[in-house]
Amino acid sequence: MRLRAFSRHAVRAVRRVDTGADRDDGAPMISQAAGGVSGGHPPGEVSIAFNLGSLRQLRCVVATIAQAHALGWIADLLVLIVHEIAANAIVHGGGRGRLRLWMETGQVRCQVTDHGPGFPADQRGTPPHPSRSATGGRGLWLAYQFCQVEIHTGSGGTTVDLAIPAWPHRPSPGAPSGRSCRIRRGHPR
């Protein structure tokens, strides 16, 4: 299955959803990269600022993009994982963040960045399976179950990079997920 950059139709639909996270003067807060990879932005990348008040709208934007690209069952998984990582950015990373989302051949890529204090040293690495009674701790754990995860963290904030394979059908139980983990010190700037 070959995935393309986000279609103009998907971007127009997304721009109708106004999250208001970066808007003091009514300027649009959803942007799309131009057709090239200039400036380090993949073609068709959508960049979305978010905060607590716009988390619901962020889910709508991600769902719109996923549905526009016929991602099937991955669409719901993508919405859930992005929501969980964005919620972590809000709770632990200064109350707001930015999502970058784009397509690559065979996978959906996203990056959630915040400007909080970074991950404490004792919380780095693959998180353990949360207990049934735990009230939190599921966001990163869930991402590790379905995605390739790379975390860049430091005193200037945290960036969580996710690569989600765009399987057209659900994988069979026991099939390899292709997931991996790398945590690097220092925040990419």
Output the pLDDT for position 93.
Answer: 92
Output the pLDDT for position 10.
Answer: 47
Kindly report the backbone phi and psi dihedral angles of residue 20, in degrees, each rounded to the nearest multiple of 5, phi listed first. Answer: 70, 10
pLDDT in 10s for each residue of the chain, 189 residues:
333 444 454 444 444 444 444 444 333 355 554 444 345 667 778 899 999 999 999 999 899 888 887 788 888 999 999 999 999 999 999 999 999 999 888 889 999 999 999 887 777 777 888 888 888 888 889 899 889 999 999 989 999 999 988 765 555 555 545 444 454 555 454
pTM of this prediction? 0.72
Cα–Cα distance, 20 to 89 (Å, whole number): 17
For CA atoms 152, 80, 92, 137, the dihedral sign is negative
Cβ contacts of residue 29 below 8 Å, gap of 6+? 18, 19, 20, 21, 22, 23, 48, 49
